[in-house]
Structure 1
Amino acid sequence: MTAGVDTGGRAPGRPRSAHVDEAIIEAVLGLLAEGGSVETLSIEAIAARAGVGKATIYRRWSGKEALLVDAIASLKGPPPEPLGESVREDLIRLLSVGPKKPDERTAQIMSCLVPEVQRSPERYRLYQGLVEPRREVMRQVLRQGISSGELRADLDVEVAVAALTAPVLIQRMLRWHPGLDDESLPARVVDTLLAGLAH
């Protein structure tokens, strides 16, 4: 399972099989990527797709919501560790996909989840639980930049986090601008914003 995400719904003391876990996670992602909604996603359908019994799923997760959190978290994995060499390099590292090849289904899956986040307070909380660890790592980089003098002392850290992440997120999810290159976009966003964030 993905580190850094507290699902709070796993039963203790059961035997684990990485292969079975992966098959179940893959079943969730596959069903969502094919256009299924969170509401219509059922433990029965997930079990059938994964080739396991419902009891196998319930031994690992308390229910659909806990399973959904782990499935979505697996698309990105934990945030990368900042190297501490410079604010610029750390921010680019955080905004980049990294060595893990991006899952091509991410855009389809996230487009299914966005309406659910808007409609359901519970799923909004689940979403916040997924993204907050990444936000906190970026806050730490920015605060370190303020302490080292690389960034202006009066920097609004929360607005800076939003300004850095939003362009990259929108481009990946919606392909908002076909002329922008996904690989170079993080560095371009960071360099553009650092001109105002520094001094």
Structure 2
Amino acid sequence: MNGRDERVSARVERDSGSVDTGTRTASGIGEPRRGRPRSEAAERAIRGAVVRLLEDGVPLGDISIERIARTAGVGKATIYRRWSDKEELFVEILRDIEPPEPDLPGTSARDDLVVMLESVRVRGLAQRSSALLNNVLAQMKSHPKLWAAYVATVIDPRRATVLEILRRGIVGGEIRDDVDIDLVNDLVVGPMLVRAVMRPHAPLPDGLAERIVSTALDGLRPPGRA
């Protein structure tokens, strides 16, 4: 395990108890579930157990709730009180390993798109440098239920964010109003994904996100708009 993966493991075990996965209020603040008080130590142990099993090279298909519970030293019911199934737990662990979601400046569609593409670039670099992240993402695609959960909770929300940015770009006059925003999403995000995912040895230099967005928006700008 390299230095980055060691830091990830420490972060997962240190921080995992601080996030409540219970019912969310409208303000986004978690409310504790009814029943027994949550044990932060137990949650840290569960998250740490998953990371240790992955670091030891145990295939995702062989990591059952029973095995996680045994490794963590807790009962299965302790896990099920926090996660409905192992897919939900795996996706949450993966989100801990990945770089965090970016904060959008909101100053313009262009600025927000640059930030979103930069996050894709950073994730591509993280996957290249983290054996753990690369291994888990590679395995996930052969587990349809797990991949579907990852798409629904991670990939789809990111796509929805970009689509909303593009809509604001149309309203603000940065993008023509006669374009298919689903297609524009692919035109803008696609080049970075190709380099980050499909061409693992392609360069991912600083400034690439800005170059891609500028090139795309040059062709999408309304006539007469400088």
> Could you state the TM-score of these two structures normalised by the residue count of structure 2?
0.67
Matched letter for residue 54 of structure 1: K
- For the 8 Å contact 2:54–2:60, the answer to whether it is kept is yes
| Residue 189 (str. 1) matches residue 212 (str. 2) | yes
RMSD of aligned alpha carbons: 3.3
Could you tell me the percent identity over the aligned residues? 34
> Higher Cα Rg: structure 1 or 2?
2
Unaligned runs of 5+ in 2: 1-18, 25-31
Give the equivalent residue in structure 2 for 1:166. Answer: 190
Output the CA distance in 2 between the equivalents of 1:19 and 1:135: 35
Of structures 1 and 2, the one scoring higher in RCO (CA 8 A, sep 6+) is: 1
Are the aligned partners of 1:82 and 1:93 in contact in 2 as well (CA < 8 Å)? yes
| Partner secondary structure for residue 190 of structure 2 | helix
1:122-178 Cα offsets, whole Å, 9 max, x none, are 44531331211111111111100001110111222112222333333343345x153
Alignment coverage as a number of residue pairs: 188
Is residue 115 of structure 1 aligned with residue 138 of structure 2? Answer: no
**For 1:183 and 1:2, how far apart are their aligned partners in 2?**
35
Structure 1 unaligned regions, length at least 5: none
Whether the 8 Å contact between 2:196 and 2:202 is mirrored in structure 1 is: no
Residue among 48, 52, 61 paired with 2:74: 52
Evaluate the alpha carbon distance shift between residue 94 and residue 23 of structure 1 in structure 2; reply closer, same or farther with a 3 A threshold. farther
Q: 1:12 aligns with which of 30, 33, 41?
A: 33
Name the SS of the counterpart of 1:60 in structure 2.
Answer: coil
Quote how far apart the aligned CAs of 1:79 are: 3.5
TM-score (norm 1): 0.74
Question: C-alpha displacement at 1:77, in angstroms?
Answer: 6.6
Query: Which residue identity does 2:176 align to in structure 1?
Result: R
Aligned 8 A contact 1:151 1:198 in 2: yes
What secondary structure is seen at the aligned counterpart in 1 of 2:61?
A: coil
CA distance in 1, matches of 2:189, 2:45: 31
The letter of the residue matching 1:12 is R
Partner residue in 2 for 1:68: 90
* Counterpart in the other structure of 2:159: 135
8 Å Cα contact 1:2/1:74 also seen in 2:
no
**Deviation beyond 6 Å, 4+ runs, structure 1:** 98-101
Distance 1:25 1:83, change over 3 A: same
